[in-house]
Amino acid sequence: MRFRTVLPLLAAGVLGAPPAAPATGILAVRHWSAPDHTRIVIDLSEPVGYRHFELADPPRIAVDIPGASFAPAVRTLAIGDGLVKQVRFNVLAQSGVAQVVLDLETTTRYDVFALEKIAEKLDRIVIDVKRPTESIREVPAIREPRTIGPNQFGDFLIMIDPGHGGEDPGRRNPDGVKEKDLALIFSRDLAQAISQYSGYRAELTRTGDYFVSLRRRREIAEQKAAHLFVSVHFNAAPARSARGTEVFFVSMDGADTRATQELVRAENAADLVGGVPPRDHDTSDHLTKMLFDLRQHDSVERSQRLATAITDRVAATRGLPTRNVKQAGFAVLKSLFIPAVLVEVAFLTNPDDVRYVRSSQNRDRYVRALAAGIVDYCEDVEIPRLGWKIHTVDSGETLSKVAALYAMEVSALRGANALRTDELSVGQKLRVRPR
């Protein structure tokens, strides 16, 4: 049994009992199911002491909150995601304890921690139930990855990072449009657009409406050995006239304008809003080491070129203006040793921008421009860095003629470009070894 006190419970006075204090209200209980955990959030009217413990036969987790009462709307919450069956609510009359019980499919690890009010979030208790590692299912790749190196050429893996999620809604407009929802929609479409290019594939750091910490987003990219990282967000500003796309790459020295500083603070606060256990926060020593290591790499310069390539393509689309490429200290970008950018697609505080992003036709045009910018960058920067170049097929050229031009075996040329046949089309781009 474990005990955690957020505020001490008051003992009765010697000269008589004090007036009864109003009970802490348990206002709502919410949940999100992620691939590796299920999160239960208990919203409170004020901070309160609590304890939590495990029970067996059947497996369950109980959280006792002394001196609390449930709001009338709080009812049994069915989940059934293969990890948590349901959440039940008991009132222990003799002890005056409100009890939240999680019925589990099996005994497993879990975390319980309290979070203070921040932004629109109330004081709350968070329970993260961890999915057993062996049962976590990875989203299958669109095609099998192939090695990229001096002697081989495989798929570029682009990690798409939909901003916010779950407990962290991000920005929202007066009509209720949430940044987390739009970011996921655009990211899914962008992943599909990228994967239409031969030799490229994309995966997402989150595939549904659940919270992922900033550190975990970076870890996913590192574990997947991604070659590029693109974080998708939506902006907001006090002035309704502000609109358009902004693309950022990481800065070691902070933001250069007050508006950008405010944006960085809002995006970097995602962990505080979404809820991260205290032990998950990076220490200042660790952050200092990450920044020092990053200075030793050329990823900052490459990130700038990636941001520019994306901005150039988006600027060619109609209906959504682009703003200058900028640097800012976004935490989600800072420890990545690969080119990484953060795209603020549009302003949710601008009615024209909101109308634009709500259109499926505009969204398709926009994500195709983003994907084209990413491919432009890879062809101009990353492919030459690996000792390859791009050949554009001209009229009358065959696979054997192109292979002879670069002194390559036909089989090597076919393999480098994942070609299933020897047929070529005018304008087709091939990866070749320069002579």
Cα gap 10→395, rounded to integer Å: 86
Q: What is the pLDDT of residue 80?
A: 95
28, 121 contact by CB (below 8 A): no
Q: Do domains 2-9+19-134 and 388-432 have the same CATH topology?
A: no
The candidate with the shortest Cα–Cα distance to 366, out of 326, 323, 316, 309, is 316
Question: 156: helix, coil or strand?
Answer: strand
Sign for the pseudo-dihedral over CA of 372, 374, 379, 380: positive
Place of tokens 């802490």: 24
Q: How confident is the model at residue 117 (pLDDT cuts 50, 70, 90)?
A: confident
Find the range with the poorest average confidence among 89-103, 128-142, 200-214: 128-142
Taking the domains of the chain in order of start, what are their residue ranges? 2-9+19-134, 156-384, 388-432
The candidate with the shortest Cα–Cα distance to 267, out of 280, 295, 282, 248, is 248
What's the Cα-to-Cα distance from 354 to each of 68, 178, 179, 244, 345, rounded to whole Å? 42, 11, 11, 10, 10
Please name the fold of domain 2-9+19-134.
Answer: Immunoglobulin-like (2.60.40)
Mean per-residue pLDDT over the chain, rounded:
81
Q: How confident is the model at residue 333 (pLDDT cuts 50, 70, 90)?
A: low
- What pTM did the predictor assign? 0.75
| Residue, of 160 and 139, whose pLDDT is higher | 160
Quick: pLDDT tens for 356-381. Answer: 999 999 999 999 999 999 999 999 99
Quick: pLDDT tens for 37-52. Answer: 999 999 999 999 999 9
Q: What is the pLDDT of residue 2?
A: 46
Do β-strands 246-250 and 340-347 pair in parallel, antiparallel, or remain unpaired?
antiparallel
Superfamily of the domain at 388-432: LysM domain (3.10.350.10)
Quick: pLDDT tens for 274-286. Answer: 666 655 544 344 4
Residue 420, burial from CB neighbour count under 10 angstroms (0-12, 13-18, 19+): exposed
410 membership: H or E segment, kind and range: helix 410-416
CA R_g for the chain: 26
- Options 3.40.50.720, 3.40.630.40, 3.40.50.12780, 3.30.470.10; CATH for 156-384 is 3.40.630.40
Percentage of the chain modeled with pLDDT above 90:
48
Cα gap 364→38, rounded to integer Å: 32
